[in-house]
Chains A and B, each alone.
Chain A
Amino acid sequence: MTSPKRTPLYSLHVELGGKLVDFAGWEMPVQYPLGIMGEHKQCREKAALFDVSHMGQVILRGENVGEKLEALCPQAYATLKEGKARYGFFTNADGGIMDDLIVSNAGDHFFVVVNAALRHQDIPHMRAHLEGVEVTEIFERALVAVQGPKAEDVVGELCPAARDLKFMETTVADINGVECRISRLGYTGEDGYEISIPEDKAIEISKAFLAHEDCEPAGLGARDSLRLEAGLCLYGNDIDQSTSPIEASLGWAIQKRRKEEGGFPGADRVQKELAEGAARKLVGIKPDGRAPARQGVEVQCLEGNTIGQITSGSFGPTVGGPVAMGYVSKGHGEPGEKVNLIIRGKAQPAQIVALPFVTQNYKR
């Protein structure tokens, strides 16, 4: 075992009293003294700052990068306009999801953010398949997310250009005289930004955000409960090499032209599932009681047959009770359907619900 890596914000986590854990090979704060619930509510009500520097930041340079990405992803990246970001995923030949990512058209290059645990897979994948494209993994920049209804005030005070961005837009602007990439997006269901900052200025700028009375640091624990309430998939839990985008209810992330034309790995399966429906699909599941249903919990129909499995489940601080997502087989999964969750051998009643559990507050 190699010792976990540290992000440019490591000493700030220690200074702020962060409880550090190993996450995907990185020493990351799971929470600060405020606690997961407090940090979660802080993000829903005001603003929270997250270190997401463990994620892979990649620059793609070359001719027609967007068009070339379409050979690896089912998204319409060829027509992604400059200054826009778009959620997507790499698919494998069987139509499973290799990783999910955000691709931004930065004008003279494309900027891609991939999951921490899959950097080692995604970068060689892009190098092998994006012919004539220079793939550069950025190690010398931190990535900081400022999320919540007050994020515009927190970031806008130091960087007025941030106020002008709309959801899924990206730009380059100075913060305290340092050039940063600012994108209006996130993983919490709230308005907010992800900001790529040169590593030697990351602490200084993070502290400047935290100096705002409405901004507090938040860790990976709150990030997970926030994304779960917002109905956002976590790679490795809700989506993986075996789940197709249609099964994962991610059809919205595949643009019309790509659905019709195909031309991406696993397009046969995706198009077949679009036409005929998938064998299973990812749905929201709300336990009636207070017991959280964790990953791996079996889902049964009221007749007692197994119809699926929980893939993410926890306590939702904003919902005020347990929330979960999981796959159920074809013929099941309509909102309102009653099911049982087998928690420690006992059947606990629950209901299928529409995702997300909380309203997404994006600035469109």
Chain B
Amino acid sequence: MATYYSEEHEWLTVEGDTATLGITKHAAEQLGEVVFVEQQEAGDEFEKDGEIGVIESVKAASELYAPVDGEIVEVNEALADNPGALNEDPEGEAWIYKIKIADASQLEDLMDEAGYKAFIG
């Protein structure tokens, strides 16, 4: 199990060819209080850098971009009723999707924790 980070401030915890995906604590802090999460459905396929959801704070809407190619296998339904969980525990309880990774070699383009920490300064 390894966790990767994208420049779009997502984390991806990989186990075999599946992974759990969410936004980082840093991203949640930048967004402010989340009031709405638009998620796609299980079975939806996506390409790296494609839009896979929208997170809205009081002030603005921010798109969620796919860090790799893949398919959504599970959606965290709890976020629909409690979008504020993304501020409380973005790297734990408030994961957004479980995905199936299509091309594991794309993980090489992502950062590890130390790399991400340096990236956000």
Binds A, one of B33-41, B64-72, B91-99, B100-108: B33-41
**Residues B54 and A36 in contact, CB atoms below 8 Å apart:** no
How many A residues touch the partner, as a band?
10 to 19
Which of A80-88, A121-129, A289-297 forms contacts with chain B? A289-297
Interchain CB contact under 8 A, A315 and B38: no
Contact A221 B59 (CB under 8 A): yes
Q: Find out whether the CB atom of B54 lies under 8 angstroms from the CB atom of A315.
A: no
Given A290-B80, A291-B56, verify A315-B35 contact (CB < 8 Å). yes
B59's closest neighbor in chain A, by CB? A221
Interface string of A208-249 (1 = CB under 8 A from B): 000000000000010001000000000000000000000000
- Whether, in the assembled complex, A351 has its beta carbon less than 8 Å from a beta carbon of chain B, the answer is no
Closest A residue by C-beta to B51: A344
In the complex, whether A333 has a CB less than 8 A from a CB of chain B is: no
Task: Tell me if A115 is interfacial: C-beta within 8 Å of chain B.
Answer: no
- Is A314 part of the binding interface, using a Cβ–Cβ cutoff of 8 Å? yes
With contacts A291-B38, A292-B61, A314-B59 taken as known, whether A344 is within 8 angstroms of B54 at the C-beta atoms is yes
Q: Among B38, B54, B58, B83, which residue has its beta carbon within 8 angstroms of that of A314?
A: B58
Quick check: is A326 within 8 A (CB to CB) of the other chain? no
Give every chain B residue within 8 A of A292 (Cβ-Cβ). 35-36, 56, 61
Q: A36-B32, A291-B36 are in contact. Are A315 and B58 (CB under 8 A)?
A: yes
Q: Which B residues, 1 to 38, have Cβ-Cβ distances below 8 Å to chain A? A: 32-33, 35-36, 38
In the assembled complex, the Cα of A69 lies from the Cα of B33 at a distance in Å of: 43
Smallest CB–CB gap between A236 and chain B, Å? 16
User: A25-63 CB contact bits vs B (8 Å, 1 = yes)?
Assistant: 000001100011100000000000000000000000000
Chain A residues closer than 8 Å to B80, beta-carbon distance: 290
Closest B residue to A315 using CB positions: B35
Mark A270-312 against chain B: 1 for CB-CB distance below 8 A, else 0. Answer: 0000000000000000000011101000000000000000000
A317 within 8 A of B: yes
Q: Which residue of A lies closest to B81 (CB)?
A: A290
Write the nearest CB–CB distance from B36 to chain A, whole angstroms.
5
| Contacting pair B59 A36 (CB below 8 A) | yes
Which chain B residue shows the least CB distance to A343? B38
In the complex the two chains form, is B58's CB within 8 Å of A37's CB?
A: yes
Provide the residues of chain A in CB contact with B61, threshold 8 Å. Answer: 292, 294
On whether the beta carbons of A35 and B32 are closer than 8 Å, the reply is: yes
From 61 to 98 in chain A, residues with beta carbon under 8 angstroms from any chain B beta carbon are: none
A291 CA to B32 CA, complexed, in Å = 16
Chain B contacts for A225, CB-based, 8 A: 58
| A31 surroundings in chain B (CB, below 8 A) | 32
Provide the residues of chain A in CB contact with B33, threshold 8 Å: 35-37
CB distance from B47 to the nearest CB of A (A): 18
CA distance A184 to B23 in the complex (A): 44
CB distance from A87 to the nearest CB of B (A): 26
Residues of chain B within 8 A (CB-CB) of A344 are: 38, 54
19 contacts between A and B (CB under 8 A): A31-B32, A35-B33, A36-B58, A36-B59, A37-B33, A37-B58, A221-B58, A290-B35, A291-B36, A291-B38, A291-B56, A292-B36, A292-B56, A314-B58, A314-B59, A315-B35, A315-B56, A317-B58, A322-B36
B interface list, Cβ under 8 A from A: 32-33, 35-36, 38, 54, 56-61, 80, 83
Given contacts A30-B59, A36-B32, A344-B38, 17 further A-B contacts (CB under 8 A): A35-B33, A36-B33, A36-B57, A36-B59, A37-B33, A37-B58, A221-B32, A221-B58, A290-B83, A294-B61, A314-B59, A315-B35, A315-B36, A315-B56, A315-B58, A322-B35, A322-B36
